[in-house]
Chains A and B, each alone.
Chain A
């Protein structure tokens, strides 16, 4: 048995280390380490509750709007208000802009460059991968960064700036969109659609989302030549990504993008391999700090009563991250979870055949991107200029509430309590807290820890490339993870 300590992991958000026990050319055991602690939950206590709208986006520079939205929803729930239809649409548009940008960034800037590595020099697709997807300088890497910058100009109009956008308010949006702006935004979304159809998908977005199953995807991939998705599918078939990095086979989503009546465009729920979809209840959600450098007296706690208390000297600990569990079980979260829970046929069929693996996570992200753009077009069509974008807010001096939201990387929850008009309690469970959780008190590994078991390691590899594929397939956000 050899021990590899792998880090710093770049092309992920934040700091990540992975410790691997390797034997017979494969990972036998993995420990995922979040090596940085900032303590946001504690620094929020004692502050004016509205300060959360300024502080929480700064947990994360890549999921900033998602953090804002979770806080805004918690404060809205506390006050018993809901945004008016325009406000709801504006918040959805902001969240979807960030979500789509994150998926684009992940595919082009974070995930694909690994196929340009010299280790793949003998593969028939390598020259093309190098040309298109080399880190920083690949032709498509450069185009995608430019497309992303232009895409984020949507937020310039919808919310002033990104990241750390304070227009997301409990009562709606502080930025009313006028009639001309609505049309300009719509044109910009259509411009992005054209980019995706030309560069990423190589076909109309609806053609991809209408594919019913894995054979149809395979036939579609081989039946055309355009688009970076087709190159990815060819690489995936050759590199065995369909069977690489299989997770725990459970996934959850809290649901995303509610309409004016509160009905989400993407349903909430619980998915488990081979079982019918289940409704989601967070009553039995706990965070287990056994292997975190945090106090764990009293055992696992529901975030409504959670505790974040650093204990730097704790022999059994190896990370700052807690281990979220639902009814004691691990679960994956993210685009793949959202699409599975929502019953998207192609992603569901892929997961039925392979489980949730590197291939399925990446395809689910592209499918979601292709679904987001038409949703955004519809939301922009539905905006009614000169109607209100926000309702007034009066916060009670006492009370407790939760705000849930699907960030690009998955389920995000903020649990807060207000006493005497100040924040008395704030707990955050972030998407990568789930995906990159450590072992719990029962020794159950977190989703990535499980997914890494069996991952091949070539002789002489210090930072195994297959491990990098598995890790990056989750699109981790480490700054959110520990917060």
Chain B
């Protein structure tokens, strides 16, 4: 069993709310079966007020061992590096300081969500709050704890990125830590667990036939591929959203909207409207990962010219208007 302490800072709490959507008949039972015990969680635990401050003191002083410190939300360092944009309630001290002290005693440190990992939406635009991630500021190593930080167990901050995170990513990460089965080579270069970060959102996308023919959606709700016009980054974004579905049967692309690559550092400021694909001379700037541009252009023009009428017609409708033909003979 590992003891997990969970703190929230500059975020929306959505990763916790998402976690509670974990698939299963009994959430506390799932945690226990995964080898996880909660020392304290802001949404779930009984302890409040002075009881929590006493626990945090015990953790800080080493009287209570913290196997995993989970931090949700960005670290708000402002104004002027003072951390006053987030004082831990009841303590009068910047949350930034609490997190730093607790990270120093924890065996593992997990950044839950893109705010805690990179800064995320909390760091958008001019970033007045001086928000950063635990060990990154956008893609730049550093953040609150510094590029050289290693938790007592030897790992850097484990970045379970996503806005929000998928509940399965959090459970699998904690279960792996509990089983002593998460090591440095199980993390990608951005310290995300490879089990979800070595996939692309594109994998398993139900719009793949439209993608193959570049039969593109033109407005929200259209069934076609959203890469060409509607800003979809699913062919570039590292996550398994379309093979490990959300809330039963869902994903962003299945919900009729673009992947905004919320697991990637800096996704909050793409430099263009989220709903629009930036293009140069009519060609999307963000090409599918690992695909050379010349090949993409050649394949796209070929596949566009070969698009079946069914695929073309359905691409710009919100429901199937042309069903697949039934072949007169047995399938070969």
B250 at the interface (CB under 8 A from A): yes
Would you list 11 pairs from A and B whose C-beta atoms are within 8 A, ordered by A residue? Answer: A9-B48, A35-B86, A50-B273, A58-B120, A64-B12, A145-B20, A148-B21, A163-B14, A166-B258, A171-B220, A479-B12
Complex CA gap A212/B13 in Å reads 38
* Chain B residues within an 8 Å CB radius of A152: 21, 247
Quick one: CB contact mask for A101-131 with B, threshold 8 Å, 1 for yes?
A: 0000100011001001100000000000000
Complex CA gap A465/B268 in Å reads 41
Complex CA gap A62/B15 in Å reads 10
B124 at the interface (CB under 8 A from A): yes
A264 at the interface (CB under 8 A from B): no
Residue of A nearest to B220 (CB): A174
List 13 extra interface pairs beyond A10-B40, A156-B248, CB under 8 A: A5-B90, A11-B48, A35-B88, A43-B124, A45-B125, A51-B274, A54-B260, A55-B121, A61-B14, A160-B257, A162-B18, A167-B257, A310-B79
Contact B164 A164 (CB under 8 A): yes
6 cross-chain pairs, A with B, having the tightest CB-CB distances, nearest first: A160-B255, A61-B14, A7-B90, A7-B89, A463-B49, A156-B250
Instruction: State the main secondary structure of chain B at its contact with A.
Output: loop
Contact B14 A113 (CB under 8 A): no
A window 12-62: CB within 8 A of B: 13-17, 33, 35-39, 42-43, 45-48, 50-51, 53-55, 58-62
* Chain B residues within an 8 Å CB radius of A176: 221, 256, 318-319
B25 at the interface (CB under 8 A from A): yes
* Chain B residues within an 8 Å CB radius of A9: 48-49, 89-90
Contact A173 B43 (CB under 8 A): no
A385 at the interface (CB under 8 A from B): yes
Q: How far is the CB of B217 from chain A (nearest CB, A)?
A: 9
Contact B43 A109 (CB under 8 A): yes
Contact B45 A135 (CB under 8 A): yes
B window 1-58: CB within 8 A of A: 8-18, 20-29, 38, 40-53
Complex CA gap A297/B236 in Å reads 47
Residue of B nearest to A159 (CB): B255
Assuming the contacts A62-B14, A149-B22, A310-B128, asked whether A156 and B46 have C-beta atoms less than 8 A apart, the reply is: no
Contact A38 B129 (CB under 8 A): yes
Q: How far is the CB of A356 from chain B (nearest CB, A)?
A: 23
Chain B positions within 8 Å of A, measured between CB atoms, are: 8-18, 20-29, 38, 40-53, 76, 79, 82, 84-92, 95, 120-122, 124-129, 131, 163-164, 219-221, 245-258, 260, 262, 268, 272-276, 318-319
Q: How far is the CB of B160 from chain A (nearest CB, A)?
A: 15
Residue of B nearest to A52 (CB): B274
Complex CA gap A23/B257 in Å reads 56
Complex CA gap A109/B47 in Å reads 13
A407 at the interface (CB under 8 A from B): no
Complex CA gap A36/B95 in Å reads 10
Candidates A33, A46, A174; contact of B256 at CB < 8 Å: A174
* Chain B residues within an 8 Å CB radius of A6: 49-50, 90
* Chain B residues within an 8 Å CB radius of A38: 10, 76, 85, 122, 129, 131
Candidates A61, A157, A310; contact of B17 at CB < 8 Å: A61
* Chain B residues within an 8 Å CB radius of A60: 12-14
Contact B251 A145 (CB under 8 A): no
Complex CA gap A113/B86 in Å reads 27
Identify which of A8, A117, A152 gathers the most chain B CB atoms within 10 Å of its CB: A8
Contact B43 A11 (CB under 8 A): yes
Contact A8 B48 (CB under 8 A): yes
Instruction: State the main secondary structure of chain A at its contact with B.
Output: loop
Contact B250 A61 (CB under 8 A): no
A153 at the interface (CB under 8 A from B): yes
Q: How far is the CB of A295 from chain B (nearest CB, A)?
A: 13
Quick one: CB contact mask for A285-328 with B, threshold 8 Å, 1 for yes?
A: 00000000000000000000000001010000000000000000
Candidates A14, A392, A463; contact of B48 at CB < 8 Å: A463
A388 at the interface (CB under 8 A from B): yes
Contact A161 B319 (CB under 8 A): no
Contact A312 B220 (CB under 8 A): no
* Chain A residues within an 8 Å CB radius of B45: 10-11, 135-136
Complex CA gap A279/B226 in Å reads 44
Q: How far is the CB of A247 from chain B (nearest CB, A)?
A: 21
Q: How far is the CB of A432 from chain B (nearest CB, A)?
A: 13
Candidates A13, A386, A390; contact of B221 at CB < 8 Å: A390
Assuming the contacts A43-B124, A146-B27, A176-B221, asked whether A62 and B90 have C-beta atoms less than 8 A apart, the reply is: no
Q: How far is the CB of A3 from chain B (nearest CB, A)?
A: 13
Complex CA gap A62/B18 in Å reads 9
Chain A positions within 8 Å of B, measured between CB atoms, are: 5-11, 13-17, 33, 35-39, 42-43, 45-48, 50-51, 53-55, 58-62, 64, 105, 109-110, 113, 116-117, 134-137, 142, 145-146, 148-149, 152-157, 159-167, 169, 171-176, 178, 310, 312, 385-386, 388-390, 392, 462-463, 468, 479
Complex CA gap A279/B222 in Å reads 40
Residue of A nearest to B249 (CB): A156
* Chain B residues within an 8 Å CB radius of A385: 319
Complex CA gap A108/B133 in Å reads 32
Contact A10 B52 (CB under 8 A): yes
Contact A42 B221 (CB under 8 A): no
Residue of A nearest to B131 (CB): A38
Contact B23 A137 (CB under 8 A): no
Residue of B nearest to A143 (CB): B26
Complex CA gap A136/B131 in Å reads 31
Assuming the contacts A38-B10, A61-B11, A479-B13, asked whether A462 and B247 have C-beta atoms less than 8 A apart, the reply is: no
Complex CA gap A51/B258 in Å reads 12
* Chain B residues within an 8 Å CB radius of A35: 86-89
Candidates B13, B15, B82, B85; contact of A14 at CB < 8 Å: B13
Contact B89 A157 (CB under 8 A): no
Candidates A15, A155, A162; contact of B8 at CB < 8 Å: A15
Contact A160 B246 (CB under 8 A): yes
Candidates B120, B276, B318; contact of A390 at CB < 8 Å: B318
Contact B164 A61 (CB under 8 A): yes
Complex CA gap A172/B48 in Å reads 41
Assuming the contacts A58-B121, A156-B247, asked whether A145 and B255 have C-beta atoms less than 8 A apart, the reply is: no
* Chain B residues within an 8 Å CB radius of A113: 46
Q: How far is the CB of B321 from chain A (nearest CB, A)?
A: 9
* Chain A residues within an 8 Å CB radius of B129: 37-39
Complex CA gap A134/B125 in Å reads 43
Contact A43 B125 (CB under 8 A): yes
* Chain A residues within an 8 Å CB radius of B13: 13-14, 60-62, 479
* Chain A residues within an 8 Å CB radius of B268: 55
* Chain A residues within an 8 Å CB radius of B219: 390, 392
* Chain B residues within an 8 Å CB radius of A105: 20
Contact A61 B18 (CB under 8 A): yes
Q: How far is the CB of B24 from chain A (nearest CB, A)?
A: 7
Contact A33 B163 (CB under 8 A): no
Candidates A48, A136, A156; contact of B38 at CB < 8 Å: A136
